[in-house]
Amino acid sequence: MKNKILIGFYNYTVIATYAALIFGIFGIYSAIKGDPFIAIVLLLLAGSLDMFDGRIAKTRKRTADEKHFGIQIDSLCDLVNFGVLPTAIGWSLGLEGFGFTTLFALYILTAQIRLAYFNVDEFNRQNRTTEGRKYYTGLPVTSSALLFPFVYTFSAPFGAEATAISYGIMMFFCAVFFVLNIRIPKPQKKMICVFAVIGLAMLACLICFKLNGTIS
């Protein structure tokens, strides 16, 4: 229910979303301080929480206002975690100059457009039906939580230059596919578990590379 002192809604359904945002903020801080490894790990953790915040929210019977609030805060947090944080990591990897700054702007802009479009589409969909969503239009912005760690994990052993180039290429393609009018099936329970396992595997690889000195 609405808090009498603070604006907003405060219950357990928003905890995962807020925790993911905190990971994202510390990830940006780590990237600014020149530590892309920690930033990538925090991006993975933020993505892990994001995978389950919707399912946590469904365990509680919410009012229409609570549902709309949840949609808004989720997208706002996603813009920070999966829009701003990946660009901060790119900068920490050495992607500097006018060209890469333009790429960062394009990436954040298309992420914002994708998230705003989703909010409008989801609002209209909920007014039409109570059925769960089966498809997304455009590449979900949250996919960056797996795509960028994947690129970093398997290109970092080949050196900083290879990592930066691979990262920049992935960022460009993500920016394009965020706003491309394509239908992507929404992951169901089994696929979410698969993504979770992939995330854990990448995290394990990152830690091993770091301990072995493969990643600085």
Rounded to whole angstroms, what are the CA distances from 63 to 7, 67, 113, 125, 143? 16, 6, 27, 16, 29
The answer to whether position 180 is within a domain reads yes
Secondary structure (3-state) at 63: coil
Reported as type and span, the H/E element at residue 136 is: strand 135-137
Question: What is the rounded CA–CA span in Å between residue 194 and residue 178?
Answer: 22
The answer to whether position 3 is within a domain reads no
Q: Of 14-23, 99-108, 122-131, where does mean pLDDT reach its minimum?
A: 122-131
Residue 207, pLDDT above cutoff 70: yes
The answer to whether position 187 is within a domain reads yes
The answer to whether position 6 is within a domain reads no
The answer to whether position 208 is within a domain reads yes
From 150, 160, 148, select the one nearest 107 (Cα to Cα): 148
Question: What is the rounded CA–CA span in Å between residue 216 and residue 214?
Answer: 6
Question: What is the rounded CA–CA span in Å between residue 175 and residue 178?
Answer: 5
Residue 77, pLDDT above cutoff 60: yes
The answer to whether position 5 is within a domain reads no
Q: Identify the band that residue 3 occupies on the pLDDT scale cut at 50, 70 and 90.
A: low
Mean pLDDT for the chain? 89
- Provide the domain limits for residue 191: 12-212
Residue 57, pLDDT above cutoff 80: no
Q: Identify the band that residue 188 occupies on the pLDDT scale cut at 50, 70 and 90.
A: confident
Q: What is the model's pLDDT at position 177? A: 97
Q: What is the model's pLDDT at position 210? A: 86
Burial of 31 (0-12, 13-18, 19+ CB in 10 A): buried
Q: Of 1-10, 94-103, 147-156, 168-177, where does mean pLDDT reach its minimum?
A: 1-10
- Domains of the chain: total: 1
Share above pLDDT 70 across residues of the chain, in percent, rounded to a whole number: 98
The answer to whether position 151 is within a domain reads yes
Q: What does the pLDDT look like over 121-170, one tens digit per residue?
A: 888 887 887 777 788 999 999 999 999 999 999 898 888 899 999 999 99
Q: Identify the band that residue 71 occupies on the pLDDT scale cut at 50, 70 and 90.
A: confident
The answer to whether position 1 is within a domain reads no
Q: Identify the band that residue 6 occupies on the pLDDT scale cut at 50, 70 and 90.
A: confident
Q: What is the model's pLDDT at position 4? A: 65
Question: What is the rounded CA–CA span in Å between residue 58 and residue 198?
Answer: 25
